[in-house]
Amino acid sequence: MARPSKYVSRSDLGWGTSPAASADPRSGLVVHYDSSNQNLANRDHSACLTYWRNTRAFHTGPSRGWVDIGYSWLACAHGYVIDGRGPRREQAAQPGGNRTHYSVTLATGPTDTITDAQINAVRELRQWLADDYSNAGTVLGHRDFIATSCPGDRAYSMVRDGTFTQAPGPITGGEGSLLGLKEGDGLLPGAPVEGVKAVQRLIVAAGFGTTLDPDGVDGRWGPATSEGLLQARRYVGSGVSSIKSMTGESYAQLIRACARREAERAVSGLGAPVDGDDGS
């Protein structure tokens, strides 16, 4: 693909060509953050540009003394990819990978929102680097290189679950989903196991528990849970063909499926199944 659809170049910023050394990073893209919350998702895009100019001033100032801003790009909450050093430049971002990998910061802090537009900006950037710069397209987090909190737990879970390596396009899952629940949850440490169990219990109550076999209600959202949710939604008339996350629509239809099944059981005189207790 061509350059990301929303792009701010160095010339747009009035910065001229980066004085950093030439390099040809081909091994991947490394995600970074800011160690403090910046709240840019709730501010105008102009605040991102101000943040970026301030970051460059800090990186080239007395405390860092670098030749230029440290990163290759910023992917902002409004979906823009903003030039740092840009393509084919060595960085001062992840020692050990400054000539082999590109760097992109989300400019988020530990609990800042990572927006769908921002996720898509990273996806577009990754795709562009793969297509036009022979980059492998592997996405890593700064903490894969050294012991650091960067890029924060939220972004790093997205690095690990493949959120950034999907093709650019509409976002499924991620923080845009209801309760943050999506396929893959419970399969990695720190994921919302109890939330996934709640979804699975509703799938059972809606009458599609067999899709979860043989593991049942285990708090791990793999393809079987997605299939159960899909069948429950179709049961109440949905025409969707695949589901990867608990969207608001998914949730509403799952509740309706439970109510409909309950009504059917009442008519047939079978009564509702007794809830089991697995001790959790």
Interface residue list for Zn ion (CB under 5 A): 32, 45, 48, 76, 78, 142, 150
| CA atoms of 187 and 11, how far apart (whole Å) | 44
C-beta of 53 vs 201, nearer to Zn ion: 53
| CA atoms of 269 and 52, how far apart (whole Å) | 66
The token duo for 217 is 């209600």
What is the C-alpha end-to-end distance of the chain, expressed in Å?
48
C-beta of 68 vs 183, nearer to Zn ion: 68
Angstrom CA distances, 11 to 7, 55, 84, 86, stand at 11, 17, 11, 11
Give the CA-trace dihedral at 20, 97, 81, 191, to 10 degrees.
-160
**Smallest distance from Zn ion to CB 38, Å:** 10
**Smallest distance from Zn ion to CB 146, Å:** 9
C-beta of 113 vs 260, nearer to Zn ion: 113
**Smallest distance from Zn ion to CB 66, Å:** 14
**Smallest distance from Zn ion to CB 268, Å:** 56
Q: Which uninterrupted H or E stretch holds 83?
A: strand 81-83
C-beta of 103 vs 127, nearer to Zn ion: 103
